[in-house]
Amino acid sequence: MDIDLAIENENHLRLRNSLHSFLFEGKKDDSLACRHYDCSLGKWLYTTGIFQYRHIPEVHSLERAHTELHNRLTDLSGEKEKKDHEKCRAIYREIEEVSLRLSLLLQQLSEAIKSPAADEMKQLSEEMDDTLPLEHQALCDFFMQAPGIFCVLKGPSHVFQLINPDYKELTGDRELKGKEIRAALPELEGQGVYELLDKVYQRKRTYTGREIPVYFNKGKGIPEKVYLNFIYKPIINANNECSGILVFGYDVSEQVRLRKRSEESETRLKLAIDAAETGTFEWNMNTREFICSEKLAKIYGYRKKTGISYKEFTRAIHPGDKKIRIHAIEEAMRTGIMFYEARIIRPDGSLRWVKFSGRIIFDEKRNPCRMYGTALDVTDQKTLEERLEKKVKERTRELMLNNELLIRQKELSESVINASMDNIAVLDTKLRFVIVNERALIAFKKKKERLIGQPIREVFPQAVRSGLYRDLKNALKGEGMHDFNYRSFILKGYYEVFIFPLRDSNDKVYGVLLITHDNTPVVEASERLIAANKKLEEKNSVLEKNNRELASFRYIANHDLQEPLRKIQVFSGMIRKHIDRPERIKEYTENIIHSARSMSDLVQAVLSYSRLSANEQSFTKVSLNAILKDVKKEFQPLIREKAAKVSCSRLLSVKGDPAQLKQLFACLLSNALKFSDKEPSITILSRVIFSDIRQSGNSGADKYLELVFKDNGIGFEQKYADQVFRMFRRLQTSRQYPGAGIGLAIVKKIVEHHGGHIFVKSEPHAGTAFYIYLPVI
């Protein structure tokens, strides 16, 4: 099978073009769907090429590149269907590269196949592979017709071997063949071309360049810039040495320029849009030409339709902001983007804030050539900003003041809390100490660090026992507490306790305030007061008793002393009346004597009653046996007269007033002897009993001596039992049983003085028994 490799090359390059149309214009080309073994090159390769020229390495490379190209094309069709543009672009770039490679390989293969007709071709083929059959003419044709630039550089100094017409045109139609590149194209110096070629030659690595600007001196004196897509491919011989470099590329200058122009116009458009409300300016940095819009002039305070000059433009900048502008321009020189805000001074002297933004356009040498810019009057905005800023500053100041105030308040409240004489603590919702004042620290006998943050039940477990913990828990539920007399287990004493729930603005309890006020002195004072009161009451009751006694004495004076006196008066009057009747006088005189005696008895009794006092200091240990013995001795004549029998058990000793106790025994014995209508039989018994008898006395003792005075006398009805102890109360007429009616009142008083108790049991004609209880100390 014969094949024209040049045509194939063109076909495959056309494939790329079709692809471009397909991708960007949507034109469908069936050749794109063609598989690598279906296309004519493929058919040739798999029927003839690979087998016939298997000794030529390029044929295998060609086969791989060809397969890859077709595969990539198929991939691309698929991605295009999926509308994945990003991926399409990537594949397209690969295809471009592969097709370039394929194109190169085809040329190489053509060279290898055709025996070189021309000398240069022959020379080249010799170096590549002498055995290759070269079709020189075809190759030459290929070169001449190849779309794109092509040349072969030989050796480490890159000597031009083969140059196609496009390349020749690119370099300005100069004689290049046989010349080293450095000599042939000196303008490339400094553009990095030589160095790149050296690198490719040395490293034997293909270099692909895209849109690389290269300046060629085409003889017009000014270097002309072209953009090139190219491949530097090292030519490797059988010894794996690099013999030269194949250069293949396209001039893409037009494309790049077009795109750059569109970019530029886009920028302009954008600026134009931005400029709707803004002034615009354009400054050609090379020519110093300055063009600006009417709007800009207006911003600057001019009414000129033609705009303002560059001088006017720069001079108006406020001296204080000139630095800002310079800095912004310096920045723009590096980044291409300019932005600054500055004040300008209008001709009328008014100040305006202007926001400048713009772009610097650079030439190929990265020299800034033009500046497009906009200017926007932002005075109002700025004033607002300034006002805002001022507000913020004011607010900040206010906040700082507030903060300071708060700090001062905090210090104040802390010092107030600390100065408090009460113990103050604040606890959080977990009942941990948050604040403890100094007073409380002293009272708790704890260091601050030991308390703050610690739960109260851990620091003071006794709080649980005392109920304080429960009260604090209740406070967390919102229940406050105030107890005037709180017994503190922590502080040991009596405290007035306040427990308040602390609430935030949402009424939620966030802690508990605990204030305790030491009440111990108050409570102690009040206890003292109570004791004093009790004493006073006792005194009072004594006084009351004294008062009652005084009232009794008044009664005595008014009645009992009056009575005998009155009788004396009556009977004296009778004597005077019957002075002539001696028998009557005798009778009246007897009456007078009787009355006077009873009066004397009464005075004696009253005196002895009033002398009775409850002076415990006179108390000594008194043997009742001895007392009874004394009293019996005193009453001995009467006992004998009445033939009375007095029997007694052995009596114990008590603590008391001996004189009073003697009086007690005397009274009782006298009564027993007096109120009898037969031979008196008197029994005195004594025993110790354990009992709490407090009906009358309040000694509080539980051990008493019981004394029983029992007689067999006239007795009385039990209902008069209480009366017998009252002063001047008599159950019998005084004539029948003489006496002042005071004896038992004295007895009762003596018993009471001794902290004892007395009661009586009696029955008419059966006898009477007095029961006396005296505390045994």
Question: Binding residues for another protein, per CB under 8 A?
Answer: 555, 558-559, 562-563, 566-567, 569-571, 573-574, 577, 591, 594-595, 716, 720, 728-735
Q: What 3-state class would DSSP assign to 574?
A: helix
Task: Name the residue nearer to another protein (CB basis): 705 or 744.
Answer: 744
Residue 688 Cβ vs another protein, minimum distance, rounded to whole Å: 36
CB atoms within 10 A of CB 703: 11
Residue 712 Cβ vs another protein, minimum distance, rounded to whole Å: 21
In DSSP terms, 511 is beta-bridged to 428, 502
In DSSP terms, 656 is beta-bridged to 620
Contact 148/174 with Cβ under 8 angstroms?
no
Residue 587 Cβ vs another protein, minimum distance, rounded to whole Å: 9
Tell me which residue of 356, 358, 351, 340 sits closest to 379, measured CA to CA: 351
Q: What 3-state class would DSSP assign to 289?
A: strand
Residue 673 Cβ vs another protein, minimum distance, rounded to whole Å: 19
Residue 766 Cβ vs another protein, minimum distance, rounded to whole Å: 17
Return d(Cα 478, Cα 676) in angstroms, integer. Answer: 81
Task: Name the residue nearer to another protein (CB basis): 473 or 566.
Answer: 566
Task: Name the residue nearer to another protein (CB basis): 97 or 560.
Answer: 560
Task: Name the residue nearer to another protein (CB basis): 321 or 560.
Answer: 560
Residue 585 Cβ vs another protein, minimum distance, rounded to whole Å: 15
Tell me which residue of 490, 431, 481 sits closest to 456, measured CA to CA: 431
Residue 588 Cβ vs another protein, minimum distance, rounded to whole Å: 10
Residues 6+ apart with CB under 8 A from 318: 342, 343, 344, 345, 351
Give the DSSP letter of residue 478: T
SS3 content of the chain, % helix, strand, coil (to 5): 50, 25, 25
Look at the alpha carbons of 298, 302, 303, 305 in this order and tell me if their dihedral is positive or negative.
Answer: negative
Contact 95/69 with Cβ under 8 angstroms?
yes
Residue 563 Cβ vs another protein, minimum distance, rounded to whole Å: 5
Residue 625 Cβ vs another protein, minimum distance, rounded to whole Å: 35
Residue 553 Cβ vs another protein, minimum distance, rounded to whole Å: 13
Return d(Cα 728, Cα 459) in angstroms, integer. Answer: 73
Angle, helices 520-555 vs 582-611, to 10°: value is 170
Task: Name the residue nearer to another protein (CB basis): 574 or 772.
Answer: 574
Looking up tokens 């270097």 gives 223
Task: Name the residue nearer to another protein (CB basis): 492 or 576.
Answer: 576
CB atoms within 10 A of CB 512: 25
What is each CA distance from 717 to 254, 674, 679, 724, in whole angstroms?
A: 157, 17, 21, 11
Tell me which residue of 76, 65, 67 sits closest to 29, measured CA to CA: 76
CA 320 and chain centroid, separation? 47
Task: Name the residue nearer to another protein (CB basis): 225 or 729.
Answer: 729
Task: Name the residue nearer to another protein (CB basis): 158 or 674.
Answer: 674
Parallel, antiparallel or unpaired: strands 620-623 and 653-656 = antiparallel
Task: Name the residue nearer to another protein (CB basis): 428 or 587.
Answer: 587
Task: Name the residue nearer to another protein (CB basis): 648 or 731.
Answer: 731
Look at the alpha carbons of 578, 580, 584, 585 in this order and tell me if their dihedral is positive or negative.
Answer: positive
Residues 6+ apart with CB under 8 A from 582: none
In DSSP terms, 231 is beta-bridged to 208, 248
Task: Name the residue nearer to another protein (CB basis): 484 or 720.
Answer: 720
- Main-chain dihedrals φ then ψ at residue 775, nearest 5 degrees: -65, 140
The first and second tokens of residue 284, run together, are: 């050609």
Residue 763 Cβ vs another protein, minimum distance, rounded to whole Å: 15
Task: Name the residue nearer to another protein (CB basis): 169 or 590.
Answer: 590
Residues 6+ apart with CB under 8 A from 756: 696, 697, 699, 704, 772, 773, 774, 775
- Main-chain dihedrals φ then ψ at residue 498, nearest 5 degrees: -115, 130
Residue 566 Cβ vs another protein, minimum distance, rounded to whole Å: 5
Task: Name the residue nearer to another protein (CB basis): 173 or 590.
Answer: 590
Residue 734 Cβ vs another protein, minimum distance, rounded to whole Å: 7
Task: Name the residue nearer to another protein (CB basis): 136 or 567.
Answer: 567
CA 158 and chain centroid, separation? 77
Task: Name the residue nearer to another protein (CB basis): 494 or 725.
Answer: 725
The first and second tokens of residue 295, run together, are: 């709007």
Contact 162/243 with Cβ under 8 angstroms?
no
Angle, helices 5-25 vs 57-82, to 10°: value is 20
Residue 591 Cβ vs another protein, minimum distance, rounded to whole Å: 6
Residue 617 Cβ vs another protein, minimum distance, rounded to whole Å: 38
Residue 605 Cβ vs another protein, minimum distance, rounded to whole Å: 16
Residues 6+ apart with CB under 8 A from 168: 174, 176
What is each CA distance from 291 to 287, 575, 728, 755, in whole angstroms?
A: 12, 167, 144, 131
Task: Name the residue nearer to another protein (CB basis): 441 or 585.
Answer: 585
Return d(Cα 97, Cα 602) in angstroms, integer. Answer: 158
Residue 713 Cβ vs another protein, minimum distance, rounded to whole Å: 15
The terminus-to-terminus CA distance of the chain in angstroms comes to: 155
Element spanning 373, H or E: strand 368-377
Q: What 3-state class would DSSP assign to 350?
A: coil
Q: Is 604 left (phi over 0), alpha (psi -120 to 50) or beta?
A: alpha
Return d(Cα 703, Cα 775) in angstroms, integer. Answer: 6
Task: Name the residue nearer to another protein (CB basis): 114 or 567.
Answer: 567
Task: Name the residue nearer to another protein (CB basis): 100 or 602.
Answer: 602
Residue 594 Cβ vs another protein, minimum distance, rounded to whole Å: 8
